[in-house]
Amino acid sequence: MHPIEWKITAQDGEARTGILRTRRSIIETPVFMPVGTQGALKGVRFEWLENEHDARIILGNTYHLFLRPGVETIRKLGGLHKFSTWDRSYLTDSGGFQVFSLTDLRKLSEDGVEFRSHLDGSKHFLSPEVSMEVQAALDSEIAMVFDECPPGDAGFDKTRESLELTARWAKRSKDRFDELQDNGFLSEPPAIAGGSMRPSLKPNTIDIDLQPHDTASGSDRTQNVKLSGKQALFGIIQGAGHLDLRLESLEKTVNIGFDGYAIGGLSVGEEKSVMYEVLEYIAPKMPQDAPRYLMGVGTPEDLIEGVARGVDMFDCVMPTRNGRTGSAFTSTGKINIRNAKHSQDESPLDADCPCSVCRRYSRAYLRHLYQAGEMNAAIMISHHNLAFFLDTMRAVRQSIKFGGFSRFREEFLYKLGDGDRSDV
């Protein structure tokens, strides 16, 4: 019995759709996962994510939650789901990327990383084992191995040294993860999605009754799926822009064996062409029978190009980060609401967007709110941006299912180029 179930439902070239079932939700892929760094999306309430956006999975950030409010606090309060009230799926990163971005505040060894908190300068230590313990206490549906993320311009020798360390840490992560799952270190009993634990079931066995909300898949019947109730663990492939090292990292990671596989170390300063080349080379070589996750990416264009190369899962802070600075993603390109040309514009942010912000508010009004320093401006633009990213992925899934992804990709990217680039 497995912690997740994964099934490919359609394929168009390398692009594919699938169903990822966790103990809490049915997730249709390709999927964009909003980032809830502190156990919350900045400026966006969970009610909106659930009721309007129908997001099935979001991210929690291990590094930030480890520092504040602290893992023991969250564990005592029943785990991240109960603490935050988000009842759908969580994916937690390992904390590695954030720690390794603290170049001047960390000390790396084979054991792990000693670092100083960006909050108060206090010393802390993260290792594969500690990261697994933190993520078990957070009780996410999907946990990530602890890895080292080298800079995008790292040389061959440095990158090889890094990926070998990542492989050793992946094995240690897996060993500790398995111990924690077997010994019941999770914050909650095995979680149950949309159903109840039946007394006749064995411990750690759940009977899940789930109803997909997106009936475009052609299936509107309740699914009955037996899962283990434990967490899933994804391995991470490193190797920067060196294709032979990417392949070596993939082989080492697959040999350890994980529930899914992620591509790390991209969108960290390298040229777009390098990222696309790496994806084109490595994604089709990743296991067909497991989800493929591209970490920390990216723009709407990046999502489309990643899907075209066989990626199933994406995450990025862009929708809310851009929303806070007045930038809105639209079907004709990104706009900056601060631009004076929007001061009397009665049109919505995006005429093709069905979100509640676009149905009600004009660009002129949103610009007025932003210029006046009203927090509602950032909240509403963030709300729209999330709708745009999630609706884009729904359209992507539809195009793959009907064998029209190539045409969709061409038309989508062409329309993005129609926007006034000087507006950004």
**pLDDT tens digits, residue range 146-176?**
999 877 677 999 999 999 999 999 999 999 9
Q: Residue 163 is encoded by which pair of tokens?
A: 């990926």
What was the pLDDT predicted at 234? 98
Tell me the mean pLDDT in the region 296-308. Answer: 97
pTM score, two decimals? 0.91
**DSSP code of residue 44:** B
What was the pLDDT predicted at 197? 28
What was the pLDDT predicted at 154? 79
Secondary-structure breakdown of the chain: helix, strand, coil percentages, each rounded to the nearest 5: 40, 20, 40
Tell me the mean pLDDT in the region 214-241. Answer: 72
**DSSP code of residue 349:** S
pLDDT at residue 207 tops 50: no
- Per cent of the chain over pLDDT 70 is 88
The 10 Å Cβ neighbour count of residue 45 is: 12
pLDDT at residue 8 tops 60: yes
- Angle of CA points 139, 145, 149, to nearest 5°: 130
pLDDT at residue 59 tops 60: yes
pLDDT at residue 81 tops 80: yes
**Phi, psi for residue 211 in degrees, rounded to 5:** -115, 110
Confidence grade of residue 193 (pLDDT, cut at 50, 70, 90): very low
pLDDT at residue 217 tops 50: no
pLDDT at residue 194 tops 60: no
Radius of gyration of the chain (CA): 21
Active-site residue, from 147, 302, 315, 350: 315
Q: Is 141 helix (H, G, I), strand (E, B) or coil?
A: coil
Measured between alpha carbons, how far is 322 from 309 in angstroms, rounded to an integer?
A: 26
Residue 290 near residue 260, CB atoms below 8 Å: yes
| DSSP letters for 81-108 | HHHHT--SEEEE--SHHHHHT-GGGEEE
- Condensed to tens digits (0 to 9), the pLDDT of residues 367-388 reads 999 999 999 999 999 999 999 9
Lowest mean per-residue pLDDT among 14-23, 184-193, 282-291, 309-318:
184-193
Tell me the mean pLDDT in the region 25-47. Answer: 96
Measured between alpha carbons, how far is 231 from 179 in angstroms, rounded to an integer?
A: 12
Domain ranges of the chain: 5-215+224-315, 322-423
Q: Is 77 helix (H, G, I), strand (E, B) or coil?
A: coil
Question: In terms of Cα–Cα distance, which of 314, 315, 316, 381 is closest to 350?
Answer: 381
User: Annotated catalytic, 93?
Assistant: yes
What was the pLDDT predicted at 368? 98
Tell me the mean pLDDT in the region 128-147. Answer: 96
Q: Please, what is the average pLDDT of the chain?
A: 89
What was the pLDDT predicted at 62? 93
What was the pLDDT predicted at 106? 86
Tell me the mean pLDDT in the region 383-396. Answer: 98
How many helices and strands (H and E) does the chain possess?
15, 18
pLDDT at residue 209 tops 60: no
Class of domain 5-215+224-315: alpha beta
Pairing verdict, β 15-21 and 5-12: antiparallel
**DSSP code of residue 191:** P
Active-site residue, from 93, 147, 259, 302: 93
The 10 Å Cβ neighbour count of residue 134 is: 23
- Condensed to tens digits (0 to 9), the pLDDT of residues 89-111 reads 999 999 888 887 776 778 999 99
Confidence grade of residue 269 (pLDDT, cut at 50, 70, 90): confident
User: Annotated catalytic, 315?
Assistant: yes
